[in-house]
Amino acid sequence: MDKETINKQFIEKKNASVSFFYTGEYKRAIECLYELLIYEHNNPIHYYNLAICYERLGLKKEAIYAYEKFIEYGEDAVEITRVRNLLQTMTGECTLDAAQQAIQLLPQQRIIPWHQAKGDKILRLDYDLNEESIVFDLGGYQGNWTASIFERYGSKIHVFEPVIEYAEHIERKFFHTPRIKVYNFGLGKNTEKVILYVDSDGSSMFRPGNQNREITLVRAYDFIKESGISSIDLMKINIEGGEYDLLEHLIETDLVMIIKNIQVQFHDFVPNAAERMFNIQEKLDKTHSLTYQFLFIWENWRIN
């Protein structure tokens, strides 16, 4: 068969696969895609399209296989990261290798798939909440996330912000909203005073900033038990490195069992961040299921 004929057949199959996909004939699209792989056996786009077709047919195992082949042959680091995030959500698994690879990407590379998924507008706000729900906002900063959750659901929200000027700003913001309580301390594994390096929304105990500030942390177990809270519908954690100690504490004390949703941002500047994150995720997997995950951006764990 001459080259011109082969090229013609290839184009016909490619056009047919697109046509079948858009008309919902996914099985026929899959047949065309496998024929295309005869010509281009390592083309990641064909595997990506296969995965989508399998997903539309509800064939999860086949979709996972196709996504894995896309990762194997793909060259675009950002797209590979996006698909790897998707795979981890589908399988409910995060591998140490994936965490270590994600930590090598620049923050601006990691954030692209998150923005494509409209994570801040959809994923971080889409929960089964109502006016009776209890929400914890750990790391309140300017109170914007709390405002969005309250506007949508009217839930009872406890906001923890250890930096005094940020806490006061949140208090002024919700002065006429008694269902939102603001605390000028953070939650952690111990009750203690620690030094915080203040740097806008990147304030942290683990990396230098423009100002040093002594802040108060309260042992999470003690606060929750003394407050008489028996169930937390959603706990958002963005505490600039403190999430590792806190989550380990919540797991060790079994408090994790009363938290229905854990929305957490892991940070990569903590020593052994990938290993500690992976160990926490392995333990969370015993009680919760991963609903979305964008490594070192945001992820959510929902109780089983």
Instruction: Please report the pLDDT score of residue 196 as a whole number.
Output: 85
Strand partners, 99: none
pLDDT beyond 90 at 220: yes
- 3-75: CATH number: 1.25.40.10
More confident residue, 132 or 201: 132
Cα pseudo-dihedral 174, 220, 88, 59, rounded to 10: -80
Q: How many CB atoms lie within 10 A of CB 161?
A: 28
3-class secondary-structure state, position 261: strand
Would you kindly state where each structural domain of the chain is located, as residue ranges?
A: 3-75, 119-303
Which pLDDT band, with edges at 50, 70 and 90, does 202 fall under?
very low
Say what the pLDDT of residue 204 is.
44
Task: With beta carbons less than 8 A apart as the criterion, state whether 213 and 196 touch.
Answer: yes
Tokens of 212: 């040093």
Answer yes or no: is pLDDT of 1 > 60: no
Its CATH architecture, for the domain 119-303, is: 3-Layer(aba) Sandwich (3.40)
Compute the mean pLDDT over every residue in the chain, rounded to the nearest whole number.
89
Span 9-17, average pLDDT: 88
Give the model confidence (pLDDT) of 226-251 as tens digits: 999 999 999 999 998 999 999 999 99
pLDDT of residue 294: 87
> What distance in Å separates the CA atoms of residue 204 and residue 243, rounded to the nearest whole number?
11
- pLDDT at residue 94, as a whole number: 64
Residues 156-166: tens digit of each pLDDT? 999 999 999 99
